[in-house]
Amino acid sequence: MDNFSFILGIIGNVISILMFAAPIKTFKRIINKKSTEDFKGIPYITTLLSTSLWAFYGLLKPGGLLVVTVNGSGAFFHIIYVTLFLIYAPKSLKIQSIKLVAIIDIAFLGVVIAITLLAVHGTTRLTLVGLLCAGLNIGMYASPLAATKTVIKMKSVEYMPFFLSFFQFLNGGVWTGYAVLVKDYYIGVPNGIGFILGAAQLILYFIYYKSTPTQSTEENEEKGSSNLVTRGIYMKDIDEAHENGNSGNLQKGKSLPKPYLVRQYSEKLVKTLSISPSSLSSYNEDDIEKGLKDAH
């Protein structure tokens, strides 16, 4: 039984590290766009506190090596995530997030460690830290639910990363099984709740997945519109060159007309488009020649 619980703990470590690494894709996007967009910082701030306290719990608990290693890795990942979030967040959100980090991840964590080591002794110490860790672990699992309002409103899962929810679901299930084997309720209860919350997030993801517009589609639409306009201008220049007998000199000319001529042709184009078919027939060749002379 001990060997099986150890193997399950190793599996839990691997899944937990995959869960902690899941936001890497999100932060690559944030770095590329130099903006946090509509991503929430709360999941990373609360998870940093949770992993830090769990690592402390593992140090206090006899045989808690697996708890220390996995949560120490998680704390390292989330220090990087929180730092990047603070760098690229807009000013108002940055100030708010800095306050949360100072209160939750620095002040609160420091007070808990100080009180535990200086004022609490024996089994009470492990109980106190275990209860705090259990509560924070539930908060960690529930924190991605902060994005559900945005998901439902936009009918899009763009800002609710799939792999984070998926690995939270797996992580909660494995660590619940581990806790049952070693009879550690502080690990079992929050991870059991996390398993349920992870399942709820996955259900929400699959409900709105099909209605989420892909970034590539939007980019292709923009590129298609741009190419259509460019091709239209290019074909217009060729037609005008053929009419004026200057097709041989087309390549020698400048790629774009002078701004003054651009405004003139734009005005003429709008004016021409506004003329009805019946009015168009009233224009004679003299009018057209006069218009061309005025343009030059």
DSSP string, 241-269: HHHTT-GGGTTTS-SS--HHHHHHHHHHH
Structure tokens at 261: 């001529």
Confidence (pLDDT) at 253: 44
Give the DSSP letter string of 74-109.
HHHHHHHHHHHHHHHS-HHHHHHHHHHIIIIIIIIH
Chain-centroid distance of CA 131 in Å reads: 31
User: Quick one: pLDDT at residue 287?
Assistant: 52
pLDDT of residue 214: 59
For residues 137 and 175, is the Cβ–Cβ distance under 8 A?
no
Whole-angstrom Cα Rg for the chain? 31
What gap in Å lies between CA 284 and CA 4, rounded to an integer?
95
According to the model, what pLDDT value does residue 202 have?
A: 86
143 DSSP assignment: G
Burial 254-285 (b: 16+ CB within 10 A, else e): eeeeeeeeeebeeeeeeeeeeeeeeeeeeeee
Residue 29: the pLDDT is 92
CA distance linking residue 131 with residue 109, whole number of Å: 14
User: Which stretches of the chain drop beneath a pLDDT of 50?
Assistant: 216-239, 241-242, 247-274, 277, 279-281, 283, 288, 292, 295
Q: How far is CA 200 from CA 194, 232, 245, in A?
A: 10, 50, 70
Residue 154 C-alpha from the chain's centroid: 14
Are 81 and 28 spatial neighbours (Cβ–Cβ below 8 Å)?
no
pLDDT score, position 94: 92
Classify residue 80 as exposed, middle or buried by CB count within 10 Å of its CB (0-12, 13-18, 19+).
middle
Rounded Cα–Cα distance for residues 177 and 193 (Å):
13
Q: Are 201 and 144 in contact (CB under 8 A)?
A: yes
pLDDT at 74: 92
Structure tokens at 188: 């079992």
| DSSP for 146-195, written as a single string | GGHHHHHHHT--TTS-HHHHHHHHHHHHHHHHHHHHHT-HHHHHHHHHHH
17 vs 140: CA distance, rounded Å? 15
The reported pLDDT for the residue numbered 164 is: 76
